[in-house]
Structure 1
Amino acid sequence: MVKRFEGKVALVTGGRSGIGRAIACRLQDEGATVITAQRGEDERFNGIAADFSDPTVPERVVTEVVERTGRLDVLVNNAGMMQEDLIEDTSLEAWQRNLAVNLTTPFLMIRAALPHLRQTRGSIVNTGSVEGLSANPRHAAYCATKAGLHGLTRAVAVDHGHEGIRCNAVAPGWIDTELNLEFGASQPDPAAFRRDIGRIHPIGRAGAPEEVAALVAFLAAEESGFITGQIYTVDGGRTAKLSLP
């Protein structure tokens, strides 16, 4: 594998499982020193325990990474949460928690990281969602925060491109993370559920975390140096497909 990140340092939030884990592994395989930040321990990547509902945490995390390594080249804002509820059933507290984790945390992470990324002419990649572009039922808070993250991505790219800092986002669709696989297995007919998931994708299947990670690595690498402010959908063609009556 090409070592595009040899000598570079990457910070991945929510990197202990799912898409974040695949991203951390891909960047490490390509030579990066990777540190993750999320709830609980992550021994493989010397992870930092972090509760991102606390607005003081992002600056502490970035400071610790730079103190450990002396630099920061890549920031991947991947940590997030999802809550299913109609708007009328969503409390203000729940709404604010979704906002804090999915949107305010990336804002604070970027704000804390900018002085260091300015020195390395670094790259930011945010994990958005197809639900920042469309909507599934009962996902009002999640959709709103992911759409906001897409907007933040563009704004950062516009404001900091002249400093050599790029900011892009990936918008995954249905990806076979541990959580989604467990959800499928819990259905009354798991095999039928898997077939139905395949049918809604022109490519005929769900995605793998490693496929998202491959795009993140490309966007973080110097070879994508003329790409910034973009939202890349990774959904097997699902949002390109019109539904039949």
Structure 2
Amino acid sequence: MSRFAGKVALVTGASSGIGAAIADRLASDGARVFSVQLEETGHLETIVADLCDSGVPDLAIDHVIQQAGRLDILVNNAGRMVEARVDEMGLHEWRRTMALNLDAPFLLIRHAMPHLRKSRGAIVNIGSIEGLASNPGHAAYCASKAGLHGLTRAVAVDGGPEGVRCNSVAPGWIDTDFNVKFIHALPEQARGRLGAIHPLGRTGRVEEVAAMVAWIASDEASFVSGQTFVVDGGRTAKLSLP
């Protein structure tokens, strides 16, 4: 399939998990894919850098333009989570979470906009169902993802007249390597309950999130902007029992 033939994409946090699946899907659909990540994996055109450094987003966009001459798709996937109640979290950890989860997407979008206007490109922000609700001890993560969903709408409104679309994806429980290790460490009864909270009876696969991102970024979604697409197996649609 070549829906992205001749197009150039930048995916952040593509060394593993959802980010790697997104990069692989875009590449398999014909895009030339660049990544910004903390380590070299050898299968992408990679910029090894820490997006918590506020100077990195501009350098990353400039690198893509220098190497490829254009930018059509920006996927803001890189993120971090620190588990702490709001009254237990230090300001440093709060700010570092915001720097990666919210500041970096803002800075990347800001510097990418002139190039995305030229290509009438698409932005996809990877939020979370925790930008819509919360699990215990995830104050900074929830706040950053809710902010990213809000940024998505604002960019869609501002960029729409110039042909730039912006949407977000809110994954639920997805079987990344980290989550799979966590699940296997649970007692068998707890693993069963984890599947039961999803109407589809299971957790999600990284490829399922990547498929949604690929559709949003494609011309098939040319009239779709400012939306947050929940990919959670129906989890947030299900009311808890008494």
Distance 2:215 2:96 in 1: 31
* Matching residue of 2:140: 141
* Matching residue of 2:160: 161
* Matching residue of 2:9: 10
Aligned match of 1:227 in 211, 224, 227? Answer: 224
Aligned match of 2:215 in 214, 218, 240? Answer: 218
Matched-pair contact (CA < 8 Å) for 1:125–1:170: yes
Q: 1:130 to 1:85 in 2, by over 3 A?
A: same
Map 1:102-141 to 2 at 5 A.
102-141=101-140
1:150-176 CA-to-partner distances (Å, cap 9, x unmatched) read 000000000010100000000000000
AA at the equivalent of 2:208: E
Q: TM-score, normalised by structure 1?
A: 0.97
Distance 2:7 2:155 in 1: 21
Matched-pair contact (CA < 8 Å) for 1:55–1:105: yes
Aligned match of 1:236 in 209, 233, 236? Answer: 233
Distance 1:196 1:21 in 2: 28
Map 1:132-211 to 2 at 5 A.
132-187=131-186, 189=187, 191-211=188-208
1:56-113 CA-to-partner distances (Å, cap 9, x unmatched) read 0000011001111111000000000000001111001110001100000000000011
Question: Structure 1 residue 22: deviation in Å?
Answer: 0.5
AA at the equivalent of 1:103: L
**Secondary structure at 1:47 match in 2:** strand
Distance 1:223 1:21 in 2: 23
Matched-pair contact (CA < 8 Å) for 1:36–1:42: no
Distance 1:92 1:31 in 2: 43
Of residues 210-219 and 45-54 in structure 1, the stretch that sits farther from structure 2 once superposed is 45-54
Q: TM-score, normalised by structure 2?
A: 0.98
Q: Deviating runs (4+, > 4 A) in structure 1?
A: none
Question: Structure 1 residue 186: deviation in Å?
Answer: 2.3
Question: Structure 1 residue 203: deviation in Å?
Answer: 0.3
Matched-pair contact (CA < 8 Å) for 1:20–1:79: yes
Unmatched runs of 5 consecutive residues or more in structure 1: none
1:191-243 CA-to-partner distances (Å, cap 9, x unmatched) read 33331111000000000000000000000001100000000000000000000
Distance 1:159 1:111 in 2: 11
Matched-pair contact (CA < 8 Å) for 1:42–1:48: no
**Secondary structure at 1:87 match in 2:** coil
Matched-pair contact (CA < 8 Å) for 1:131–1:146: yes
Identical aligned residues as a percent: 57
**Secondary structure at 2:118 match in 1:** helix
1:45-64 CA-to-partner distances (Å, cap 9, x unmatched) read 02111101110000001100
After superposition, the CA RMSD in angstroms is 0.8
Distance 1:40 1:208 in 2: 23
Q: How many corresponding residue pairs?
A: 242
**Secondary structure at 1:147 match in 2:** helix
Distance 1:195 1:15 in 2: 30
